[in-house]
Structure 1
Amino acid sequence: MTSSEQGPGPRPQPSRPGTQPVPRAGPRRRPRTAPLLVLAAVCAALFAALAITLSVRHGAPVAPERAALRWSAAHHGEPLRSMAGALTATGSGPVPYALAVLAGLLAGRDAAGRLRAVLCALVVLAVGQAIRYGLMELLARPRPPAADWAGRASGYAFPSGHATTSALAAGILAWGIARRARPSVARTWYVVLALWAAGVGLTRVALRVHWPGDVLGGWLLAATLLALALLLEPFAVPRRDPSRGGPAGAP
């Protein structure tokens, strides 16, 4: 049978005037493993170098740390002291855990997914705090002289608990926002969270309860833990199977 004798095949349906096909959104791309491992390795190496340096000096501060505390002592009047005290209070206690819960609620897709993400976010924060506490006890760096303190503190100095915890909470919430908000909105919140975590860490020096190296160590430790935690994102928020409308591989 020739082509002229064949019946007409299915013809494409013309699109309606004024309408365009709506592209389907693809799945959110997972963080790549290699860059996260590199970031974790670099931050861990810097943290180790800082910890070894302080251990060799038996916790004695270096000249820039002494200069920073002298500057803080010369600028400790009101309202800076009250503002520093109010900001530093948000770096511990219930606030970081509330931010972790919010991150899980934003990251989850349904009730079960949100519960799973909340639990994972809380575990990351709690494990990070446990690691920080263990390192603090192991390294046992003394704090600045208690007579100079302008705030409350307890335990050893390195790494700073407030700096570590606030940076962890900020990173966890940034992850939750990234899974829910538009990129332009998410970037704004990244800046806000970074400024908050940096501010909490700096208040520990402003209140003269930590040396600057303690705060830097807390930030490096938090960055290491966050990079490693992102490798577990497929467990916290499993992929959906587009053909079934559920997690990938779900029966």
Structure 2
Amino acid sequence: MSGRARLGWTVAAASACLGVALTLAVRGDGPLPGEVGLSRWAQANTPGILDPVASLLDVLLTDLAAPAVFVLLVALVWWAWGRYPAAVLALAGAATGLTRIADLVERPRPTPSLRWSNYSFGSGGYPSGHAVFVVLVFGTLALLARRHLPGPTGRRLAVAFWGLTALTCWLRVSRLEHWPADILGGILLSLPALLAVAWLEPRIPRYLANRPILARFLGL
């Protein structure tokens, strides 16, 4: 195993362990220490110019709109780079099912006054579905951009996707849609899946070398 692969698996294992630990920690009755103060600070220090961006992201990444956005992204990747990259993105999208543990954790979202409220089924805040979606989907798009757009163009597009990921996570806290731990949990739980996709993406074509029918189906 190469040093890079070993580092990737180490990060994935550490992220998964921390994610499980955080999941257990947030099941208590009340926010974690520092969450209220951090939320207030993020709200006070986010420029108002970002409000339209936040509103647009809210619309595009709701439970109803996100599947349509994802299908559109898969179609665009298929058109631009081919069937196999689209299949890789679809694989990453399948892992967004991690958000379903929200109804097991039963953690309420913050109120506008940052008070703890009662949990209602279907409105759980942990982990943040937005965080899981952008890490897995935009992270995979960043990976594919570097793979299929060599040079500065691919790097710039990858940076743009990661910047959009960070901005989305920040705005979910600053707009009081999630507690900070909801965002952190979404990142920690989705990162191992993203790293698994990054590990599989260059290896699947080699695995399918002796399976010509499936390889042709994926455009390899």
Instruction: Give unmatched runs, 5+ long, in structure 2.
Output: 116-121, 213-220
Residue 163 of structure 1, CA deviation: 1.0
Q: 2:183 aligns with which of 207, 215, 219?
A: 215
Corresponding pairs, count: 201
State whether residues 205 and 212 of structure 1, in contact with CA within 8 Å, keep that contact through their aligned partners in structure 2: yes
Residue pairs, 1:117-156, within 5 angstroms: 117-125=85-93, 127-133=94-100, 135-145=101-111, 155-156=123-124
Instruction: Give unmatched runs, 5+ long, in structure 1.
Output: 1-29, 108-113, 241-246
Is the counterpart of residue 65 in structure 1 residue 65 in structure 2? Answer: no
Query: Percent identity, aligned pairs only?
Result: 27
Structure 2 CA distance, aligned partners of 1:179 and 1:31? 20
Is the counterpart of residue 173 in structure 1 residue 141 in structure 2? Answer: yes
State whether residues 159 and 214 of structure 1, in contact with CA within 8 Å, keep that contact through their aligned partners in structure 2: yes
Name the structure 2 match of 1:225. Answer: 193
Residue 97 of structure 1, CA deviation: 3.9
Q: Normalising to structure 1: TM-score of the pair?
A: 0.67
The verdict on how the C-alpha distance between 1:31 and 1:79 changes in structure 2, with shifts beyond 3 A counting, is: same
The verdict on how the C-alpha distance between 1:61 and 1:120 changes in structure 2, with shifts beyond 3 A counting, is: same
Could you say what the CA RMSD is over the residues aligned between the two structures, in angstroms? 3.2
Is the counterpart of residue 95 in structure 1 residue 69 in structure 2? Answer: yes
Higher Cα Rg, which structure: 1
State whether residues 96 and 166 of structure 1, in contact with CA within 8 Å, keep that contact through their aligned partners in structure 2: no
The letter of the residue matching 2:73 is L
Q: Helix, strand or coil: the match of 1:231?
A: helix
Name the structure 1 match of 2:166. Answer: 198
The letter of the residue matching 1:130 is G
Q: Whose helix fraction is larger, Structure 1's or Structure 2's? A: 2
Q: Normalising to structure 2: TM-score of the pair?
A: 0.75
Is the counterpart of residue 83 in structure 1 residue 53 in structure 2? Answer: yes
Q: 1:157 aligns with which of 115, 125, 130?
A: 125
State whether residues 129 and 186 of structure 2, in contact with CA within 8 Å, keep that contact through their aligned partners in structure 1: yes
Structure 2 CA distance, aligned partners of 1:157 and 1:50? 13
